[in-house]
Copies of this chain bind each other. A is one copy, B any other.
Amino acid sequence: MSNSLGIHALSLRSEPWGASRYKRAVESTLAQAGVTIGASARCDIRVHDERAYAAFLQGSMGVGEAYMDGHWSAEHLDHLMARLFAAGLQADPPGIGTFAREVLAKVVNFQSRSRAFRVAEVHYDAGNDLFERMLDSEMVYTCAYWSEGDTLESAQRAKLDLVCRKLGLAPGMRVLDIGCGFGAFMKYACENYGVTCVGYSVSAQQTALARARCAGLPVEIVLEDYRAIPRSGQTFDRVVSIGMLEAVGVQNYRTFMQVVHDVLRPDGVALVHTVGSNVSAQHGDPWIDRYIFPNGMLPSIAQLGAATEGLLVMEDWHNFGPHYDKTLLAWNERFQAAWPELKSSYTERFKRMWELYLLAFAGAFRARSYQLWQLVLTRPGCPQPLCRVS
């Protein structure tokens, strides 16, 4: 089972097919999801190159690469993806490739400490100019909270404040931020709640910018994996991890929670913010893995339950998945608007890859296949904190 991009349910055919036969197979399968395919403006999927039909038979990798190559397009890519997700179509055609990934994922720790920096090199170091244009002014690269804001700016501020209130931050508290990105949470928490922060990140580019943005604040940033955090003392009042668990991997969820447990003061509070999946997977989607988030995968409730069991008590589990649909659309809008200025630094193929990433995820959240979870956690035996806020 994988965190499927939900692109199609077609199985690999070994015999050589003519283009028309590929076309018929793709059309009849997509028709089950109410999706039409062709070359006209009325079709949900417009095919610009006949090779797209064969690509559609090759799982998310084929579909994604064909999109990047301009072999097909869709006027409403997010609607299309939501419909494919809603129909429950599988991204991975069952076959030897899927089987091999399943086996490998159990044997190899794809998110080992030595591999942990890979996602930074491929994704987070893609270019700060890109993220500066796409994100809000505080550069929050995680799901916004639209209940209290109707612009990306205000919704991201609302999310940061929601986290601070759930954690019950108070002046002088020492806060650990695991996967601190561009430092937006630490900056907000220091400026508005008077805490001091230590952040960990595996992205050199993010860390450089985060240090600059947090200059003058009681913030220390360490360019290291979460497994390098000293665990000998329970030295943090609060631990937060916003949008980093997606890179941890099922083999390491327990280690991650053990780190949270070990560094937290006995009466401390932790908050983990992550995208979640409806199904327990052993690996991520192949196209996303190659092009967007190397070694990324989404946890399930059962996996997080097993990972925290006996280590941490779950005090509150908030799901606001639909807010990520809106966030991704806002990012895509800003990305498209900035493209004329970004195009000198990035290829057209990169642009298509990036918009497919943003809009495929938007579709997955709209179809309710992916969720956005905030878990508040404490050490066993602690009094319950006042963390049930919205």
Contact = CB atoms under 8 A, between A and B. Distances in A.
A368 B382 contact: yes
A315 B317 CA distance: 9
Count of identical protomers in the assembly: 2
Interface stretch (A130-138, A217-225, A318-326, A339-347): A318-326
A306 B305 CA distance: 9
A288 to B, nearest CB: 21
A310 to B, nearest CB: 6
Interface in A285-336: 300-306, 308-310, 313-322
Interface residues of A, number: 37
A209 B45 CA distance: 61
Contacts of A304: 301, 305
Given A86-B381, A317-B314, A322-B383, A303 B305 contact: yes
Contacts of A315: 319
Interface in A148-205: none
A371 interface: yes
Most chain B CB inside 10 Å of its own CB: which residue of A315, A320, A321 = A315
Given A368-B384, A380-B368, A382-B368, A278 B309 contact: yes
A279 B310 contact: yes
Most chain B CB inside 10 Å of its own CB: which residue of A302, A306, A378, A383 = A302
Given A380-B278, A384-B321, A302 B313 contact: no
A390 interface: yes
A278 B390 CA distance: 25
Contacts of A305: 280, 300-305
A307 to B, nearest CB: 9
A309 B368 contact: no
Contacts of A275: none
A367 interface: yes
Interface in A331-390: 367-369, 371, 378, 380-384, 388-390
Nearest to A317: B317
Contacts of A308: 301
Contacts of A319: 313-317, 384
Contacts of A279: 309-310
A306 B314 contact: no
B314 A316 contact: no
B310 A302 contact: no
A384 B147 CA distance: 13
A388 B389 CA distance: 9
Given A305-B305, A309-B302, A313-B368, A388 B318 contact: yes
Contacts of A278: 309-310, 313, 380
Interface in A216-270: none
A300 B310 CA distance: 10
Interface of A: 86, 278-280, 300-306, 308-310, 313-322, 367-369, 371, 378, 380-384, 388-390
Task: In the A-B complex, list the 7 residue pairs whose CB atoms are closest, starting with the nearest.
Answer: A301-B305, A302-B305, A317-B317, A302-B306, A305-B305, A388-B390, A322-B384
Given A279-B310, A280-B309, A301-B301, 16 more contacts: A86-B381, A278-B380, A280-B306, A302-B302, A302-B306, A304-B305, A313-B319, A316-B317, A316-B319, A317-B317, A322-B384, A368-B383, A368-B384, A388-B390, A389-B390, A390-B390
